[in-house]
Amino acid sequence: MPQADNFSKCACQHCGGHIEFPTHGAGRTIACPHCGAATLLAPGQTAPLEIGGGRAARQRVFSVITIGAIVLVAAGGAAYWCLRNATAAAAKPAAPVAVPVRPPKPAPPADSWHGLKAGRVTLEKTGDGGLIYAVGTLRNETQRQRFGVKVELEVLDAHGNKIGSATDYIEVIEPDKEWKFKALVTDRTAREARLMRVTEQ
């Protein structure tokens, strides 16, 4: 039975996008699946720190600031409500206060990837060098950012036999946004690719 390839990682020399590829493909120059520019598959090559990581860090800081602002506004509203009711209580006997009933929390999405909806996967062949990519979509249907999302695909030949694997990775998918992944397939006999796993850091 064919064995799955070992994979290495590097970053695009132009856009800094994450690329994961079979180790035996090291040294080849391919079209970056993120920006389309020619880049060398060099294991261990990393992008400048400000690419991706800076953006993700800024997004996290923005989220913390937003939550802090909401808490402050809520606290101010609560203080005003308490002061107003205390003043009214001094003028007349206190009336029973109705305690609002909180609605139950919605159940988590009943799907395999926990709110990440996968579309159809197809194989696309590029004109330059005849490289093959497994292309598909993954939509974030939740209302939160999804960080470090990785797709793992099974590559099949014309008879439905597994002949390898392909992966792609993205640092963040915003709420209600779609990611079009593009995973490099090194076996030219590939005829089909299936999404087998979606993981998140």
pLDDT in the model for residue 113: 79
pLDDT in the model for residue 69: 64
Residue type for 130, please?
G
pLDDT in the model for residue 23: 86
At 61, is the pLDDT very low, low, confident or very high (cuts 50, 70, 90)? very low
Burial class (CB in 10 A: 0-12, 13-18, 19+), 180: middle
Residue type for 17, please?
G
At 5, is the pLDDT very low, low, confident or very high (cuts 50, 70, 90)? low
At 176, is the pLDDT very low, low, confident or very high (cuts 50, 70, 90)? very high
**pTM: predicted TM-score of the whole model, two decimal places:** 0.47
Q: Give, as one character, the DSSP assignment of residue 103.
A: P
pLDDT in the model for residue 51: 41
Q: What is the mean pLDDT of the chain?
A: 79
Q: Where are the domains of the chain?
A: 7-51+112-200, 52-88
Fold of 7-51+112-200: Immunoglobulin-like (2.60.40)
List the single range of 72-81, 130-139, 146-155 with lowest mean pLDDT. 72-81
CB atoms within 10 A of CB 143: 8
Burial class (CB in 10 A: 0-12, 13-18, 19+), 159: exposed
**Quick check: 154 and 124 in contact, CB under 8 A?**
no
Nearest to 138 by CA among 105, 159, 113: 113
